[in-house]
Structure 1
Amino acid sequence: MKTDPKPQPAKFGSLLGVGPGEVPVYSSDYASADKAELPNRQAYHSYVDGLFMGYKWQCVEFARRWLYLSKGYVFDDVPMAYDIFRLHSVRVVADGTRLPLRSFRNGARRWPEPGCLLIWDEGGEFDITGHVAIVSEVFKDRIRCIEQNVENSVWPEGQTYSRELRVTVTQDGGYWIDCSYSDAQILGWVMQTADDAFAEPLVEVDPRLFNLELREVPDDGRADACWLDASNPPEAAYLEMMGGAKLVRDDGDRTKYFVMGETAKKELRRATNELHAMFMRATQYALQDDDLLRKFNLPPVLWPRIRQSWENRRNQMITGRFDFAVSEQGVKAYEYNCDSAACHMECGLVQGKWADHFGCTVGHDAGEDLFEDLVGAWQKVGVKGTLHIMRDRDPEEIYHARYMKAAIEAAGLSCKVIRGLSGLGWDDQGCVVDEDGVRIDTVWKTWAWETAIDQLRAECDAEAENLRLHKTIDRRATAPRLIDVLLRPDVMVYEPLWTLIPSNKAILPILAMLYPNHPYLLDTQFALTGDLARNGYVAKPIVGRCGHNICIYDHNNDLIGETVGQFDDRDQIYQQLFRLPVIDGLHVQVSTFSAAGTYAGAGVRVDRSPIITTLSDLPALRIVEDKELAGG
């Protein structure tokens, strides 16, 4: 017996149907999108009455558009669809007032109602993002919803809904919606109501659960043993740089580690995902405004290339690192290192090996998933041919490059490491090749983009004009320079050129403007304001590395911390002073790592001084149940 073939997806943007509320549902089959009609990321923005609804034609875009057109209110920006489940209010567009939202866990005794939001958790079919739909009809044995970005086929004639899901009502009146995908899970539904009967409780989190704790394992004579594998290239390079198997330089601290509760870890995971989305929006905003873009102090000749990189490679960022202060005072982000971020190996490999050697079984490793997430990020971008890793001769870059090489090769890609520039040459077509004559088409680099840009700044006007015209100069009489590789239009570089924008601290005042009083952000301005001066502030160069050229001033304008470096000639931003927590004399900063734009792991950096630098230690971080904390 033959079964009906699965309907073919409709072309991107095709009308699939119209349900209750008369709001159209469109196909989001991105593979069929017309590049002539949708030439860049901006073209995918969906607006109604000048209000940004989301990206065409995703699930969140439809949910927000349906609520606005049918109810007159919208929910706030969310990084992922599943984050809607934790919202507490919606905004009435006409007057800006707020109306309460309540979330009901799947199986709740208050049934969903037409017009409420049905929320799927992340995972399986809805990996990373989760999903949201609008409930259109409710029955005892089934529920109907309207949605985008699931099934992209046109609805059958006469049908007024996207999908129908089975329902089981338990003896106590609990309403259980069955997910049609075996690998996905429905969180529940979100309703605009003030009635909190059977709703998820709005529990205030005990702020003490965000405090980290310093602990110690017994030495048992293990501290002097080598617990890293010298036959493994990344570990061998790490051993050489550190002068042995250690995470910290003070031998008295070799058996110490930090613990963080599950609540704090979940908040950091949420913060990482949400902030990544916010930094991306701020990047888009900056690239649309020449006056703002000037504040990044980037050569104007590069602006078209940066914008083109953003439009073409928005989703090709491999990894980055957020730096946070985490304590009962809150979770605050200092910056996002999107370009040539470091410390991945310490997080994803070394701290786990430390715990194995010292028998630390408390909780679990905060970086245990980082390597696999990096592998997944490389698999998503689909590199073809040989990928070259370009690194300088700094000892830290050696093991960092080797660790990333292991992830790249685990992703099934061919990879070679280039040490400096001395082995590079030119082929007969004027393309850069490595010492074996292999053409360099794709690069992952430990060099910062700013290093190449400094080289460009030092070149003559003719060089800038050639770059503006995308003209490749045949320099076979001289050895290739860094800009001859990284700024060639036919070389694909990771991280993409657009990461110059979110990595530059000029993005921080833009974020503060776009998201005023956001709980994860610090007030940051291009000029020192009275409020910042009265409450204390940190002056940072817009481009800097390793914690160099930072000055910290307290509320009396007294200098309480300072570092020197090579970035003292750069423009500065001024950021609200939010001190790192001090634990046993150590200032503790938490770093989270993103892979393909989502949370992938965490680690800590500590220092006796209030400024974290490249010399700061990285003791192990373990995640424990909240009840295991002293304040739990």
Structure 2
Amino acid sequence: MTPTSQGKATVFGTLLGVAEGNVCSYSSDYDTADDKEYPNRSSYRSYYDGIYMGYKWQCVEFARRWLYINKGYIFNDVTMAYEIFNLRDVREIHSNQNLPLNAFRNGSLRHPEPGAMIIWDEGGDFENTGHVAIVSEVLPHAIRIVEQNMDFVPWKDHRNFSREIAYKIGEQGDFWLHCSPKEGHILGWMLQTEDDLHSEGTPEINSQLYNVHLAEHTTNTDASRPWLNIANEDEAAYVEMMKGHWLTSVKEDFNQYYTVSQSAEALLETATDELHGMFMHATDYVLQHPELLESFGFPEAIIPRIRQSWDKRVNQLITSRFDFALSDAGLKVYEYNCDSASCYMEVGKIQGKWAKHLNIKRGHDAGKSLFSDLVSAWKKSDVKGKVHVLQDSDPEEDYHALFMQDAIQSAGLECERVVGLSSLKWNADGIIVDSQGDPIRWIWKTWAWETALEQLRHEIVDSPDESFINHPNVREGKTPKLADVLLHKDIMVYEPMWTLIPSNKAILPVLWTLFPNHPWLLETSLQLSDELKQKGFVSKPIVGRCGANIQLVDENNQTLAEKGGNFGERDYVYQQLWPLPKIGKYYVQLCTFTVAGNYAGSGVRVDPSMIIGKDSDCMALRVLEDDVFEISQRQS
């Protein structure tokens, strides 16, 4: 927006006024934002009480924040403000219950009231975006509103509202808000009420926008021509693992990629941010109910350390990954890989370089901001010295660790990669040091925490015995075990130990209990119920990696797919069957990546079987404008 005659425009983030509930409105003049304070898109995200509100300081962010503070509920995040008029519920944060939200057209017999949202269509000053404001007061001939991103000047005379809008009431009681030509068209207002008299109906949603499409790029580019820079260590390691400059292991797929619509990307972003909050809520709930922890299978001696990690390091998550099924049938989350997830380099670097190599201009790279977001997260971390990236001797972990090392070093931190543990030693003071004799203090690891717990299970004969944890068998000059390193009291590990809980499949039944029938969740139980048998189910170990020991069974008790592995002796959960969509010759899983708990990009993993595993390929994912996506859908 632009400044008005009320006063002089202010710089980004300046307080403009304070509304009911002490809700502040800030200047959103992006041209004046400090690049050092706001270096990337992630730095513009606004949170209140740990809940994502929107982008600073847009109108949608203000509306969500005002409703949360004054009413205790928020509406789902939207790409454009005018899309709010199509929403039909809000979520009460305390109870996690959905409450009805009704839309009333300008001219409705149902009049606006304090707390209502006024919604502008796209056009005028609100071209492409629309606008939203909150009604603070209804006067005899005007309403007063509070808002953000209308202009960049302070509210006049320090009043608690931004401006007034005149209205008239027709002979039938129809209520009409004045529409300024400069601002365009007011669609109407939204009220949280169960009374839908005079309201608009539920809008039709084009569910086809949530399908994933297979595309093929026609090009004369020689597929065998090198396109990854082997002078960069991470790219050289990737080329070595792939045995060439390939995006996937199937050479015939080189020109193929997948597309999603902009609406689908917005849904993935919203779901990722909100599901992260739900998993965090469930983690806290589990720690408050010790009886639930029994189903997670942790050694008893480690539980106090997990609690300590949650209490002190809840906000120190660097990155994680959600696994989704997405189609016109809806979006469902399978699990949250909150500890030692993979595929970052494929999504954050390789798919973008592949598109440049083929000169693909169609759409945009779904992982384009992942690397810069990782750099930003490391800059904001509490690291005060050298970071050691610990990995096993594995070709995939080589480039994965090197990619993260690059992000850490780009954040201005010293970083050293450690392959295996043989170069680490105990010194005379009981400190673990690297090959140069530098103490190990800060770690990012590709190893799973569960690997260290397995060592504990073998070391601790009597489960309450904490001697191994608190008094490890230190021998100067000897190589420590993984558990010695990760559980050392003076070593800070990323991702923190508390990520053991949301990464464990035993969290899934807890989520279903806390958020029953949530549209993004699948019914999950620790016991195989008759209801799940009737729907079809997936059995999966509470701790497992790469699709190991998973079995898919349909409603007729027929096994659709299964995979062996090393986790067969662990306890299982049973999740409602929701197969991945098969697109072309592959089943396709959408993966979204978080950085500091926030959405940072998307990618796809594919497999000819119904189970995504260690050897499943990553393929490129591009995002198309909705209208372009619809055209391509009709042509396919």
2:448 corresponds to 1:443: no
> Quick one: distance in 1 between partners of 2:501 and 2:570?
15
Q: CA deviation at 1:480?
A: 1.3
| TM-score scaled by length of structure 1 | 0.77
> Quick one: distance in 2 between partners of 1:97 and 1:499?
28
SS class of match (2:101) = strand
SS class of match (2:618) = coil
Query: Which stretch of the first structure deviates more once superposed, 471-480 or 345-354?
Result: 471-480
> Quick one: distance in 1 between partners of 2:591 and 2:197?
37
What does the per-residue CA deviation read over 1:24-46, in whole Å, with 9 as the maximum and x for residues that have no partner? 889xxxxxxxxxxxxxxxxx899
Instruction: Tell whether the 8 Å contact from 1:339 to 1:500 is kept in structure 2 after alignment.
Output: yes
Instruction: Tell whether the 8 Å contact from 2:64 to 2:75 is kept in structure 1 after alignment.
Output: no
Amino acid paired to 1:173: H
| Shift in alpha-carbon separation, 1:359–1:197, aligned structure 2, 3 A | farther
Instruction: Tell whether the 8 Å contact from 1:82 to 1:119 is kept in structure 2 after alignment.
Output: no
Amino acid paired to 2:602: A
Q: What is the number of residues matched between the two proteins?
A: 552
The residue number in structure 1 matching 2:250 is: 250
- Within 5 Å, give how 1:471-482 maps onto structure 2: 471=471, 474-476=474-476, 478-482=478-482
The residue number in structure 1 matching 2:4 is: none
| TM-score scaled by length of structure 2 | 0.77
Amino acid paired to 2:587: H
- Within 5 Å, give how 1:142-181 maps onto structure 2: 143=144, 161=160, 164-166=161-163, 173-174=178-179
| Shift in alpha-carbon separation, 1:569–1:558, aligned structure 2, 3 A | same
What does the per-residue CA deviation read over 1:386-413, in whole Å, with 9 as the maximum and x for residues that have no partner? 1111111111111000001111111111
Q: CA deviation at 1:464?
A: 6.4
| Shift in alpha-carbon separation, 1:81–1:582, aligned structure 2, 3 A | closer
The residue number in structure 1 matching 2:46 is: none
2:310 corresponds to 1:310: yes
Instruction: Tell whether the 8 Å contact from 2:99 to 2:192 is kept in structure 1 after alignment.
Output: no
Q: CA deviation at 1:235?
A: 0.2
The residue number in structure 2 matching 1:485 is: 485
- Within 5 Å, give how 1:170-319 maps onto structure 2: 173-174=178-179, 190-192=190-192, 202-319=202-319
Q: CA deviation at 1:115?
A: 2.9
> Quick one: distance in 1 between partners of 2:291 and 2:70?
35
Instruction: Tell whether the 8 Å contact from 1:167 to 1:177 is kept in structure 2 after alignment.
Output: no
Q: CA deviation at 1:192?
A: 3.2
The residue number in structure 1 matching 2:563 is: 563
Q: CA deviation at 1:91?
A: 8.4
Query: Which stretch of the first structure deviates more once superposed, 275-284 or 377-386?
Result: 377-386
The residue number in structure 1 matching 2:370 is: 370
Unaligned runs of 5+ in 1: 1-17, 27-43, 47-57, 68-73, 121-131, 148-157, 179-186
SS class of match (2:522) = coil
The residue number in structure 2 matching 1:393 is: 393
| Shift in alpha-carbon separation, 1:90–1:578, aligned structure 2, 3 A | closer
SS class of match (1:439) = coil
- Alignment RMSD (CA, Å): 4.3
The residue number in structure 2 matching 1:183 is: none
> Quick one: distance in 2 between partners of 1:231 and 1:97?
53
Instruction: Tell whether the 8 Å contact from 1:310 to 1:498 is kept in structure 2 after alignment.
Output: yes
- Within 5 Å, give how 1:512-551 maps onto structure 2: 512-551=512-551
> Quick one: distance in 2 between partners of 1:81 and 1:347?
23
Q: CA deviation at 1:424?
A: 0.6
> Quick one: distance in 1 between partners of 2:75 and 2:163?
30
Q: CA deviation at 1:219?
A: 4.5
> Quick one: distance in 1 between partners of 2:104 and 2:277?
23
What does the per-residue CA deviation read over 1:403-432, in whole Å, with 9 as the maximum and x for residues that have no partner? 011111111111111111001112342111
Amino acid paired to 1:309: S
> Quick one: distance in 2 between partners of 1:625 and 1:602?
16
Instruction: Tell whether the 8 Å contact from 2:67 to 2:74 is kept in structure 1 after alignment.
Output: no
Q: CA deviation at 1:310?
A: 1.1
Amino acid paired to 1:433: V
> Quick one: distance in 2 between partners of 1:104 and 1:432?
67
Q: CA deviation at 1:598?
A: 1.1
The residue number in structure 2 matching 1:510 is: 510
Instruction: Tell whether the 8 Å contact from 1:210 to 1:260 is kept in structure 2 after alignment.
Output: yes
> Quick one: distance in 1 between partners of 2:300 and 2:147?
46
Instruction: Tell whether the 8 Å contact from 1:78 to 1:274 is kept in structure 2 after alignment.
Output: no
2:406 corresponds to 1:409: no
Instruction: Tell whether the 8 Å contact from 2:68 to 2:74 is kept in structure 1 after alignment.
Output: no
Instruction: Tell whether the 8 Å contact from 1:167 to 1:175 is kept in structure 2 after alignment.
Output: no
| Shift in alpha-carbon separation, 1:318–1:196, aligned structure 2, 3 A | farther
SS class of match (2:498) = helix
Unaligned runs of 5+ in 2: 1-17, 25-48, 52-61, 121-131, 149-156, 168-175
> Quick one: distance in 1 between partners of 2:445 and 2:456?
17
Q: CA deviation at 1:221?
A: 4.6
> Quick one: distance in 2 between partners of 1:408 and 1:326?
32
Q: CA deviation at 1:173?
A: 2.0
Q: CA deviation at 1:88?
A: 2.3
2:73 corresponds to 1:75: yes
Query: Which stretch of the first structure deviates more once superposed, 371-380 or 237-246?
Result: 371-380
Instruction: Tell whether the 8 Å contact from 2:265 to 2:623 is kept in structure 1 after alignment.
Output: yes
Instruction: Tell whether the 8 Å contact from 2:146 to 2:163 is kept in structure 1 after alignment.
Output: no
| Shift in alpha-carbon separation, 1:380–1:112, aligned structure 2, 3 A | farther
Instruction: Tell whether the 8 Å contact from 2:241 to 2:396 is kept in structure 1 after alignment.
Output: yes
The residue number in structure 2 matching 1:626 is: 626
Instruction: Tell whether the 8 Å contact from 1:386 to 1:416 is kept in structure 2 after alignment.
Output: yes
| Shift in alpha-carbon separation, 1:236–1:159, aligned structure 2, 3 A | closer
The residue number in structure 2 matching 1:323 is: 323
Amino acid paired to 1:416: E
Q: CA deviation at 1:242?
A: 0.7
Amino acid paired to 2:225: A
> Quick one: distance in 2 between partners of 1:195 and 1:61?
25
What does the per-residue CA deviation read over 1:260-312, in whole Å, with 9 as the maximum and x for residues that have no partner? 11111111111111111111111111111111111000111111111111121
Instruction: Tell whether the 8 Å contact from 1:445 to 1:494 is kept in structure 2 after alignment.
Output: yes
Instruction: Tell whether the 8 Å contact from 2:321 to 2:593 is kept in structure 1 after alignment.
Output: yes
Amino acid paired to 1:591: C
Q: CA deviation at 1:631?
A: 3.5
Instruction: Tell whether the 8 Å contact from 1:315 to 1:596 is kept in structure 2 after alignment.
Output: yes
> Quick one: distance in 2 between partners of 1:172 and 1:442?
59
SS class of match (2:619) = coil
Instruction: Tell whether the 8 Å contact from 2:76 to 2:270 is kept in structure 1 after alignment.
Output: no
SS class of match (2:380) = helix
| Shift in alpha-carbon separation, 1:136–1:307, aligned structure 2, 3 A | same
What is the identity percentage for the equivalent residue pairs of Structure 1 and Structure 2?
45
SS class of match (2:296) = coil
SS class of match (2:272) = helix
The residue number in structure 1 matching 2:344 is: 344
The residue number in structure 1 matching 2:103 is: 102
SS class of match (1:295) = helix
Instruction: Tell whether the 8 Å contact from 1:168 to 1:177 is kept in structure 2 after alignment.
Output: no
Query: Which stretch of the first structure deviates more once superposed, 77-86 or 461-470?
Result: 77-86
> Quick one: distance in 2 between partners of 1:144 and 1:172?
12
- Within 5 Å, give how 1:14-163 maps onto structure 2: 63-64=67-68, 66-67=70-71, 75=73, 85=84, 87-89=87-89, 99-102=100-103, 113-116=113-116, 136-137=136-137, 143=144, 161=160
Q: CA deviation at 1:616?
A: 0.8
Amino acid paired to 1:231: A
SS class of match (1:416) = strand
> Quick one: distance in 2 between partners of 1:500 and 1:202?
41
Amino acid paired to 2:504: N
The residue number in structure 2 matching 1:603 is: 603
SS class of match (1:284) = helix
> Quick one: distance in 2 between partners of 1:453 and 1:112?
58
The residue number in structure 2 matching 1:49 is: none
